Amino acid sequence: MCGIVGCVGEKQARNYLISGLHRLEYRGYDSAGIVTIGTDNKATLLRAKGKVSKLEELVSSIRRTAKPSTDKIGIGHTRWATHGEPSEKNAHPHKAGDIYLVHNGIIENYKELKAEIKNHKFITDTDTEVLAALIDSLYDQNTTLADAVNQALKLVAGTYGIAVISVRNPDEIVVARSGSPLIIGVGDNETYIASDASALIGFTDKAIYLNDGEMAICRGDSVELRDLSAQPISAKVETIEIDMQAIQKQGYEHFLLKEICEQPSTLRSTLSGRINVKDKVANLGGLNLTPAELRKIEHVVIVGCGTAYYAGLLGMYYLEQLVDDLTIDVVAASELRYRSFHLPKDTVALVISQSGETADTLACLREIKRRGIKTLGVVNVVGSTIAREVDGGVYVHAGPEISVASTKAFTSQVAALTIFGIQLAQAKGADLQSVSKYIEELAKLPDEIDKIVSKDKEKIAKIAKRYAKYEHALYFGRDTLYPVAMEGALKLKEISYIQAEGYAAGELKHGPIALIDDSFFEVALLIDNWLFDKSLSTLEEVNARGGHIFVITNSKKAIKAEEIIRINTKLDILAPVLINVVQQLFAYYVAVARGNDVDQPRNLAKSVTVE
Ligand code: M6R
């Protein structure tokens, strides 16, 4: 949520700042700003409401009129509003005296702090301006910028990732983190700051990941790490392994379409080295659990938010099918964190997150760990906070997911959970035969997805046009298709703004069927299995009430509906994942037909690092 960049050293800081903000724009896009200090020691603060392109226009117009001066240092921000409406005034960087500050997170005690600060005239509605003013009030002749930041942070309650510069000390960026990610990129006589590694690609592949409670003084040729009691910490420089291609659209009109279509290859990365069809074994290397520890697991709790939560729900069905004597809870992280929950002793927690930074999921992870329960991550972003704080786990290797709506991560998360289920079943003594069908289907899944994304797009786009005029939709499915229905509804609502609800098919007659009229359309999900006839009955009940039904199925049997997409597949267990891919394309084409901003839908941000 929100993106931070910074740069100090020999090159033109602005180039990196604008490039970095474009890369981080998916984290927030209601305003953007930069401040740079030139070789003349003058600061230039530029802010604009709206997307980074608006800021870029402003930067270009200034460049055309101003005298050239090398910007030796600068910080920038792209915002997702928490305190104060999206406006130029509320955009970061915020200024107080000689201080310029960019901030991700929320200063919870900002009202109390504000009441204490007398020497600053507040002009914005933000919590961030209060932090800037607080640092400025502590930044006197006897204090370094780092000390002032350090003292201010001791007074702050809340979460932050910050970068601070000052015209009085124009060779240093001071950064700190507590609850909001910050990465320091180490270049040649150039040091970069980013809240997400994708901003650094092409500038440097060497990075220092700041931990909570750490701060750093970044200069062009050095980085000095400290904790909040000013004790030095040694820095671990890691290599970022993301290539430029992965963060580009590669000819697709939108990142979302690219990410849906690249699922065959991203899923192959998830599976690679983890399943062996010939020997019928599955193994996730990084669990840090011995076979004996695996055998002892009696309960699994799965937590995540949004799409990650729905992946967890679908994973629960597969875990239940695969492992006898295992109880499973799947809980939305935003709920679990405040519940008085009880976990049995032999529980393992699976923490699912694409970004690895979601605040609610991270808070759950910490609470579960505090209770002495073993935690395993199912995470996409390498080096993210959740990935670093879990006891073990698996990277799903789906590659950077830029579009705000999560698609390829879901598929990889479900695959990883299924592999975990197979591994757990085998550790508990399941015979090879009982798991072999799961392994075979996992191995075939990438090719099966490929058939859909390469052959069915046009047909799905045509159907999407028919339903784009509606304002309400009801998705329903049974068993494994219930979480898929919820995920389908989430995808549709977040990018098309159609009000959509995902429901268990068997529950329709207990209430939601009352909704059905001509203002609704329904997406019915059916698999040709032992529950097919029951699902068909629900569909008939909707038909009988004048429903406008779009069916997605793998069945060849007769089904009465307005529109049908039949997936041609032999997959049985994992067919819900294929049905979900059709839904992803459907939501995409509905949003395109409605003329929406598909990759950056209104009010959302990719990574939700605030509560
Ligand atoms: O990064 P995470 O997987 O932890 O994110 C969780 C949710 O915020 C995320 O899935 C969100 O619901 C997406 N917008 C769904 O498309």
Give the mean model confidence (pLDDT) for residues 368-397: 95
Give the mean model confidence (pLDDT) for residues 534-562: 94
For residue range 186-216, what is the model confidence (pLDDT) as tens digits?
A: 999 999 999 989 899 999 999 999 999 999 9
11 has a pLDDT exceeding 80: no
Question: Which residues contact ligand 1 via a Cβ below 6 A?
Answer: 305-308, 353-355, 358, 361, 404-406, 490, 494, 604, 607-608
List the one residue out of 129, 13, 24 whose CA is nearest residue 82.
Answer: 129
**Of residues 2, 7, 218, 305, which has the active-site annotation?**
2
Ordered structural domains, the chain, with CATH: 3-246 (3.60.20.10), 250-453 (3.40.50.10490), 456-595 (3.40.50.10490)
Ligand 1, atom 4: closest residue by C-alpha: 353
Ligand 1, atom 14: closest residue by C-alpha: 405
* CA distance to 54, 58, 81, 385, 414, per residue, from 49 (Å): 7, 11, 11, 30, 38
**pLDDT of 265:** 96
**pLDDT of 89:** 87
Ligand 1, atom 7: closest residue by C-alpha: 306
Q: Which residues of 239-251 are buried (b: 16+ CB within 10 A; e: fewer)?
A: ebebeeebbeeee
Distance (Å, whole) CA 485 – CA 478: 9
- Torsion over CA of 244, 246, 247 and 252, rounded to 10 degrees? 120
Q: Which residues of 583-603 are buried (b: 16+ CB within 10 A; e: fewer)?
A: bbbbbbbbbbbbebebbbbee
Distance (Å, whole) CA 253 – CA 517: 35
Stretch among 18-27, 480-489, 565-574 having the lowest mean pLDDT: 18-27
For residue range 243-252, what is the model confidence (pLDDT) as tens digits?
A: 888 888 989 9
**pLDDT of 126:** 87
Tokens of 214: 């750490």
610 has a pLDDT exceeding 80: no
Question: Do 356 and 385 form a contact (C-beta atoms < 8 A)?
Answer: yes
26 has a pLDDT exceeding 70: yes
597 C-alpha to ligand 1 centroid (Å): 18
310 C-alpha to ligand 1 centroid (Å): 10
43 C-alpha to ligand 1 centroid (Å): 37
* CA distance to 197, 311, 368, 415, 575, per residue, from 423 (Å): 32, 18, 23, 12, 21
Point out the ligand 1 atom lying closest to the alpha carbon of residue 409. Answer: 3
Point out the ligand 1 atom lying closest to the alpha carbon of residue 355. Answer: 1
Residue 509 annotated as catalytic = no
Fill in the DSSP letter of residue 209: E
1 has a pLDDT exceeding 70: no
324 C-alpha to ligand 1 centroid (Å): 30
To test the ligand 1 pocket, which listed residue (381, 598, 608, 611) has its Cβ within 8 A of the most ligand atoms? 608
160 C-alpha to ligand 1 centroid (Å): 20
CA-angle at 210, arms to 205 and 216, nearest 5°? 100
Q: What whole-number percentage of the chain has pLDDT above 90?
A: 80
For residue range 384-402, what is the model confidence (pLDDT) as tens digits?
A: 999 999 999 999 999 999 9
Q: Which residues of 131-163 are buried (b: 16+ CB within 10 A; e: fewer)?
A: bbbbbbbbbeeeeebbebbbbbbeebebbbbbb
119 has a pLDDT exceeding 90: no
312: burial class by Cβ within 10 Å (0-12, 13-18, 19+)?
buried
Output the DSSP codes for 411-467: HHHHHHHHHHHHHHHHHTT--HHHHHHHHHHHHHHHHHHHHHHHHSHHHHHHHHHHH
Residue 261 annotated as catalytic = no
> Tokens 């004996």 sit at which residue?
292
404 C-alpha to ligand 1 centroid (Å): 8
Question: Do 36 and 13 form a contact (C-beta atoms < 8 A)?
Answer: yes
381 C-alpha to ligand 1 centroid (Å): 13
Q: Is 105 left (phi over 0), alpha (psi -120 to 50) or beta?
A: left
Which of helix, strand or coil describes residue 176?
strand
Question: Do 393 and 387 form a contact (C-beta atoms < 8 A)?
Answer: yes
Question: Do 391 and 374 form a contact (C-beta atoms < 8 A)?
Answer: yes
Distance (Å, whole) CA 317 – CA 478: 11
175: burial class by Cβ within 10 Å (0-12, 13-18, 19+)?
buried
Across the chain, mean pLDDT equals 93
To test the ligand 1 pocket, which listed residue (1, 355, 379, 401) has its Cβ within 8 A of the most ligand atoms? 355
**pLDDT of 524:** 97
Distance (Å, whole) CA 337 – CA 226: 30
* CA distance to 329, 497, 592, per residue, from 481 (Å): 18, 22, 25
Distance (Å, whole) CA 532 – CA 453: 25
Phi first, then psi: give them for residue 463, nearest 5 degrees: -65, -40
The pTM of the whole model exceeds 0.85: yes
Point out the ligand 1 atom lying closest to the alpha carbon of residue 606. Answer: 14
Give the mean model confidence (pLDDT) for residues 153-169: 95
Point out the ligand 1 atom lying closest to the alpha carbon of residue 491. Answer: 16
CA-angle at 413, arms to 411 and 418, nearest 5°? 95
264 has a pLDDT exceeding 70: yes
Point out the ligand 1 atom lying closest to the alpha carbon of residue 406. Answer: 16
- Cα–chain-centroid distance for residue 448? 26
Fill in the DSSP letter of residue 403: S
To test the ligand 1 pocket, which listed residue (256, 314, 354, 380) has its Cβ within 8 A of the most ligand atoms? 354
For residue range 61-95, what is the model confidence (pLDDT) as tens digits?
A: 876 666 656 788 999 999 887 777 778 888 999 99
407 C-alpha to ligand 1 centroid (Å): 10
**Of residues 95, 374, 408, 606, which has the active-site annotation?**
606
Give the mean model confidence (pLDDT) for residues 311-332: 96
For residue range 578-609, what is the model confidence (pLDDT) as tens digits?
A: 999 999 999 999 999 999 999 999 988 887 87
Distance (Å, whole) CA 94 – CA 51: 18
Distance (Å, whole) CA 194 – CA 239: 15
To test the ligand 1 pocket, which listed residue (27, 255, 358) has its Cβ within 8 A of the most ligand atoms? 358
